[in-house]
Structure 1
Amino acid sequence: MLFLPTYSPNLNLIERLWKFVKKQCLYAKYYPDFHSFTTAIERCLQDTHTIHAKALQSLLTLNFQTFQKIQS
């Protein structure tokens, strides 16, 4: 189990995934209706293991600085 600070979206892997999906599906994009919007999000999530695998491999890592427990 890995304990994270109370508010740490940069350390939370699901937050990183949602940020990626937002970037792929929302930035500078227009969808004429809700159905095409949800289809784009679903397609992006389905393509995480194929088309987006390389980008997500570097994005979804647990590479962050850790500290040993300090004795007082």
Structure 2
Amino acid sequence: EVKQLEEKSPRLKLVYLPPYSPELNLIERVWKYFKKQVLYNKYYKTVCEFRKAAIDFFSKIDQHAYALKSLLGGGFENICT
């Protein structure tokens, strides 16, 4: 059905992505940034301390808006031609 719809519409173009492409999956970029901010070179004595750090990160994610915007903005230049 999708291919038929594509054939009928001049505005649609299917772009086939590789089966595994984490660089194109935006949430992978968020997780990488999260790990860098919350996990790298940090020691949490208990799971509760780690949980609190993770919750704090996501509850204050707007403080990371500039860094996340730059991470999530690029990388699709060669895909959408």
TM range (shorter): 0.7 to 0.9
Q: Which has the higher helix share?
A: 2
1:20 aligns with 2:20: no
- 8 Å CA contact 1:11–1:62 kept in 2: the answer is no
The higher radius of gyration belongs to: 2
Query: How far apart are residue 4 of structure 1 and its match?
Result: 3.4
Q: Distance in 2 between matches of 1:25 and 1:66?
A: 31
Residue in 1 aligned with 2:72? 60
SS of residue matched to 1:60: helix
**Which TM-score applies when normalising by structure 2?**
0.71
Q: Distance in 2 between matches of 1:34 and 1:3?
A: 41
**CA shift in 2, pair 1:25/1:5, >3 Å:** same
1:6 aligns with 2:1: no
Q: Distance in 1 between matches of 2:26 and 2:80?
A: 20
Query: How far apart are residue 58 of structure 1 and its match?
Result: 0.5
Runs of 4+ in structure 1 displaced over 4 angstroms? none
Instruction: Structure 2: give runs of 5+ residues left out of the alignment.
Output: 1-14
CA RMSD of aligned residues (A): 1.9
**CA shift in 2, pair 1:47/1:11, >3 Å:** same
Q: Distance in 2 between matches of 1:3 and 1:38?
A: 38
> How many residue pairs align between the two structures?
66
